[in-house]
Homo-oligomer: A and B are copies of this chain.
Amino acid sequence: MSDTRWLSDDEQRAWRSYLRMQNRLTAELNRRLQTASGLSLADYDVLVHLTDAPDGRLRPYELQRELHWEQSRLSHHLSRMHKRGLVRREECDEDKRGAYVLLTEAGRQAITEAAPDHVETVRRLFVDALSPEQIDALERLAVQVLTRLEISDG
């Protein structure tokens, strides 16, 4: 297997810069969100999706598909959020195996208070560092890679 197509210098630099940005940015967003609101990025995502849900409630499997999380990750995470009083569960009459997840008042309040600061941080650290053309380019780039990913594993 010595016919490996190694990365060129440019490719390697870009790839490493990307990885470094990704790590630093995620860590920083998480850190700030955590200290400002006590929420993790994962909590935030769950709460956003619940807020956006038509009836304010979702089946776990719907949440799972929207978040693209593993089923067991979601299940564990919902348990922890439940313990912290951010979400609650309701029985599902249509399917006795299933359940509904909904926001508690505390959950709604947490996301409402956290959102402005978080968006502001995303803006300051990321969006404002880039030109509109770069934003566009990034969107295209991400979609291209996502397409690759979806082709390569179904």
Binding site for B on A (CB under 8 A): 1-2, 4-7, 10-11, 13-15, 17-18, 20-26, 28, 68, 115-117, 119-120, 122-130, 132, 134-149, 152-153
List, in ascending order, chain B residues with CB within 8 A of A128's CB.
148
> What copy number does this chain have within its complex?
2
Q: Are A10 and B135 in contact (CB under 8 A)?
A: yes
Q: Looking across the interface, which residue of chain B has its beta carbon closest to that of A5?
A: B123
Q: Is B139 in contact with A17, judged by CB distance below 8 angstroms?
A: yes
| With known contacts A147-B129, A148-B125, A142–B18 Cβ distance under 8 A | yes
CA distance A122 to B6 in the complex (A): 10
Given the complex, which residues of B lie within 8 Å of A17, measured CB to CB?
A: 138-139, 142-143, 146
Known pairs A5-B120, A14-B142, A134-B140; list 12 more (Cβ under 8 Å).
A10-B135, A20-B142, A22-B22, A24-B149, A124-B148, A126-B148, A128-B148, A129-B147, A130-B141, A130-B144, A130-B145, A138-B138
**A18, A68, A142, A148: residue with the most chain B Cβ atoms closer than 10 Å:** A142
A to B CB contacts below 8 Å, 29 in the list: A1-B116, A4-B115, A4-B116, A4-B120, A5-B119, A10-B132, A10-B139, A13-B139, A14-B135, A14-B136, A14-B138, A14-B139, A15-B122, A15-B127, A17-B142, A20-B68, A20-B142, A20-B146, A24-B68, A24-B146, A25-B149, A28-B153, A124-B152, A125-B148, A125-B152, A129-B144, A129-B148, A130-B144, A137-B141
CB of A2, distance to nearest CB on chain B (Å): 8
